[in-house]
A = this chain, B = another copy of it.
């Protein structure tokens, strides 16, 4: 059945560059179309006739890579039937050859670049992480016409443009569903399902470590440090938790989500970022009193600037979320992405955002798609950055605020404090005053209506200068309300 066995030219890098050119050599076209036909016949029928084997290079064999290799082996028959051709691992790039990984040692190599360049490699699965040499290896792979599936959010948040351009030039696919929210389909829905809609807002709980910590704080009344220690003990936080708790991981994901949702290239550096280390158990308790919980949110929003023009705001920070909002009940290591679009309305995608098997599931979904495209001469999603909207500064973003402060317990304090808000057009929604046992004074918590971030910042600066204010202990946003 596979008349073209061993003759397919599209696995080699030589003709790939030409295929993206409309007037390219007829030979390349013909051999491609031919292999497509083999797949056609196999997929529609009994599943017995398959196309020529496709070669897969796996870069990295950590938690995710190990699961990818396991699933490729355990589910080989199903995967072959779904692709229309068997998938064969040609090699696995690792750092340490000596470590026993339960795979044929002949597959292991430390030379990722040589592995992806092999003629019998059609698709590269990148789960090694890091910026370099990963970026160079991926570009080499794409330039050589190999499709790439990656889970590397940090790399994508910085170099999506470069990688997308390389993939387009070579007519090779670039898939990265696993880079954001693990097993939860969110890239594909934004990129494809909502391709005919106008996305207004993407708000995600996209970091399992911080969600575990904040959930534990809310559930047990733990302080941040206690909850972090528990997260580390259970393996939800790394030894150095900075990337998670300071919001860098979420910011990279926000950049990727914003880029897709708004057809604009957004990089991690464009994302305003605050971590959760400053969130206190007192904040969580106050949030509860306002019927809210606190979540680290990655928010991508289309806002209208002073001149009436659309801009993209991408920001990551801990925020109060009303308990009745769908995101409020996403607890523990679960992730969820909430989307508002002009016509679709409100959508939410929920599931496991991390872990070896869930992330590998997303990688395998992309791998099957990339492989099907090789068999059927299909085409994966294309980078779309035509809108090229300007990035909004945090100062022009409007949200509601939660401001907690310690004040002197004397008459007229509330009036003095309230004046600092109103004089900057920041309208107060709710005030709660509690006797503060730790100091001689009171704890004042204020919720505002929507106001520009710049006005709020100026207000906080002024509050800190007031004699009656001992300290502003916390400034958080309130998201998910329309008031």
CB-defined contacts of A168 to chain B, threshold 8 Å: 40, 44
Interface segment, A9-17, A24-32, A436-444? A24-32
A464 at interface, CB cutoff 8 A: no
Instruction: Tell me if B22 and A30 are in contact (CB < 8 A).
Output: yes
B23 touches A29 (CB 8 A): no
Closest Cβ of chain B to A158, distance in Å, is 19
Q: A263 to chain B: closest CB distance in Å?
A: 7
- A263 CB contacts on chain B under 8 angstroms: 78, 81-82
Chain B residues near A326 (CB-CB < 8 A):
350
- A183 beta carbon closer than 8 Å to chain B: yes
How many angstroms from the CA of A373 to the CA of B377 in the assembled complex? 11
Interface residues of A in 233-280 (CB under 8 A from B): 263
Residues of B within 8 A of A197 (CB): 71, 361, 364-365
Q: B196 and A364: CB pair below 8 A? A: yes
Residues from chain B with a CB closer than 8 A to the CB of A229 are none
Write the chain B residue with the least CB distance to A348.
Answer: B350
* Neighbouring B residues of A369 by C-beta, 8 Å: 192, 195
Q: Are A185 and B185 in contact (CB under 8 A)?
A: yes
A480 beta carbon closer than 8 Å to chain B: no
The complex places the Cα of A81 from the Cα of B32 at a distance, in Å, of 28
Min distance, Cβ A72 to any Cβ of chain B, angstroms: 9
Q: Given that A40-B168, A71-B343 are contacting pairs, would A365 and B194 also be in contact in the complex, using a CB cutoff of 8 Å? A: yes
* Given A350-B347, A352-B344, A43-B384 contact (CB < 8 Å): yes
**A433 at interface, CB cutoff 8 A:** no
**Within the assembled complex, what's the spacing in Å between the Cα atoms of A71 and B197?**
8
Let me know if B376 and A382 touch, CB within 8 A.
yes
Query: Do A183 and B365 touch (CB < 8 A)?
Result: no
What is the CB-to-nearest-CB distance from A5 to chain B, in angstroms, rounded to a whole number?
14
The B-contacting residues of A in range 261-318, CB under 8 angstroms, are 263
In the complex, are the beta carbons of A195 and B23 less than 8 A apart? no
Complexed CA–CA distance, A184 and B186 (Å):
12
In the bound assembly, the distance between CA atoms of A233 and B76 in angstroms comes to 54
Verify A82–B378 contact, CB threshold 8 A. no
Chain B residues within an 8 Å CB radius of A38? 22
Residues of B within 8 A of A37 (CB): 20-23
Is the Cβ of B349 less than 8 Å from the Cβ of A386?
Answer: no
Q: Which residues of B contact A384 (CB under 8 A)?
A: 43, 81-82
Closest to A175 in B: B192
CA distance A171 to B383 in the complex (A): 24
Asked whether, in the complex, the Cβ of B40 is within 8 Å of the Cβ of A33, the reply is no
**A364 closest partner in B (C-beta):** B196
Determine the chain B residues whose CB is within 8 A of the CB of A192 once the complex forms: 185, 188, 365, 368-369
Q: How far is the CA of A345 from the CA of B26 in the complex (A)?
A: 46
The reply to whether the CB of A387 lies closer than 8 angstroms to some CB of chain B is yes
Residue from A71, A79, A164 whose CB has the most chain B CB atoms within 10 Å: A71
Whether A351 contacts B343 in the complex (CB less than 8 A), given A71-B196, A195-B82, comes out as no
A185 touches B196 (CB 8 A): no
Nearest-Cβ distance from residue A97 to partner chain B, whole angstroms: 27
Q: A-B pairs with the 6 shortest C-beta distances?
A: A196-B364, A378-B379, A47-B386, A183-B344, A22-B37, A185-B193
Show 21 A/B contacts (Cβ-Cβ < 8 Å), sorted by A.
Answer: A29-B33, A40-B168, A44-B382, A47-B386, A67-B343, A71-B343, A75-B196, A78-B263, A81-B386, A183-B341, A185-B192, A185-B193, A192-B369, A193-B365, A195-B365, A196-B364, A196-B368, A197-B365, A329-B329, A344-B351, A344-B357
Further contacts, 19 of them, CB under 8 A, given A44-B383, A344-B361, A377-B379 = A21-B37, A22-B36, A23-B33, A23-B34, A24-B33, A26-B26, A40-B168, A44-B385, A185-B189, A185-B349, A188-B193, A193-B365, A195-B365, A195-B372, A342-B361, A344-B351, A344-B352, A346-B351, A378-B378
A residues with a Cβ closer than 8 A to B are 20-24, 26, 29-30, 32-38, 40, 43-44, 46-47, 67, 71, 75, 78-79, 81-82, 164-165, 168, 177, 183-185, 188-189, 192-198, 263, 326, 329, 341-352, 357-358, 360-369, 372-373, 376-380, 382-388
